[in-house]
Amino acid sequence: MCRWLAYSGTPVLLETILYKPAHSLIDQSLHSRMGVETTNGDGFGVGWYGPDLRTPAIVRDIGPAWSNRNLREIAGHVRSPLFFAHIRASTGSAVQQTNCHPFRHGSWMWMHNGAIAEFHRMRRDLALAVDPELFLDMEGSTDSELMFYLALTFGLEQDPPGAVARMAGLVERTGHEHGVEFPLQMTLAVTDGERLWGFRYSSQKASRSLFYSTQVDTLRALHPDLAFLREVSGGTRLIVSEPLGDLPGAWNAVPEGTCGVVQPEGDEMFSFAPREPALA
């Protein structure tokens, strides 16, 4: 499986979030505490939005994040108000750049932790459900990328929670047709550069860990001495596979079967369940 992190808020150097915390994502690449594997060394990726371009930059590579000097350089010199980072532990598919997260389509980014159970057997059926126009843009061989293209097929750009629900519905239906009891396991992050959606769901109701950071105002009251908290805006929010440190009150588990949205008009959380996709 994998670990990931999504940041939205006051523009910061990526290293502030990626390297500096005690149990940073880079630390998790060697010593994950809550992941299925403690080591996440099969590639990584970081995607960020800049001040003036709608399309994010995405840098991905196939070695472990912990020893990658280019990631260190970029993190130390690039500021962003909205970025994704992902470390990969392959469950079988090839370790190659096109299998690293985040994935991009236009101004949208997508990253995933989890798996489609027995994906190997379902891959062709799911691939056929992708819009033929979009099919051409898939480059890798992961379930994660295919889930992204299914969600795009089902209207991700118009209705993210609905499109993800239909994607999940299709995966479950296809799985059941192949005799798979619990087809889907996912924590997902999706963004268009302005809003950020996080999802936690699994067919078995035993999803991988996912946390969101406490509202900055509340944290400031709890920890008036922390300079960092005075520097970031009230709307700053993190969604992470596992907490970046042990700060009391800072991290909250996303409940099972939930979608959260980080957005200028106020963050929200609501329940999430797969939905039967319209017939293809």
Binding-site ranges for a second copy (CB under 8 A): 30, 37-39, 41-42, 48, 50, 53, 56-64, 66-67, 69-70, 73-74, 76-78, 90, 93-98, 120-121, 123-124, 127-128, 132, 135-136, 138-141
Cβ closest to a second copy, residue 13 vs residue 269? 13
259 is annotated as an active-site residue: no
Cβ closest to a second copy, residue 44 vs residue 197? 44
Q: Tell me which of 1, 2, 189, 219 is the catalytic residue.
A: 2
Cβ closest to a second copy, residue 39 vs residue 252? 39
C-alpha 164/C-alpha 70 separation (Å) is 33
Cβ closest to a second copy, residue 24 vs residue 90? 90
Q: Give min distance, CB of 203 to a second copy, in A.
A: 21
CB 48 within 8 A of CB 56: yes
- Compute the residue count for the chain: 280
Alpha helices in the chain (DSSP H): 14-18, 25-31, 69-77, 119-128, 132-135, 143-153, 160-177, 216-222, 227-231
CB 106 within 8 A of CB 130: no
Q: Give min distance, CB of 135 to a second copy, in A.
A: 4
Strands 2-13, 44-48: parallel, antiparallel or unpaired by DSSP? unpaired
How far is CA 25 from each of CA 14, 19, 233, rounded to the nearest angstrom?
A: 11, 7, 22
Q: Give min distance, CB of 8 to a second copy, in A.
A: 18
Q: Give min distance, CB of 196 to a second copy, in A.
A: 19
For residue 263, the tally of other CB atoms under 10 A from its CB is: 15
Cβ closest to a second copy, residue 141 vs residue 214? 141
Q: Give min distance, CB of 118 to a second copy, in A.
A: 11
DSSP 93-136: S--SGGGSSPEEETTEEEEEEEEETTHHHHHHHHHHTS-HHHHT
Catalytic residues, by residue number, are 2
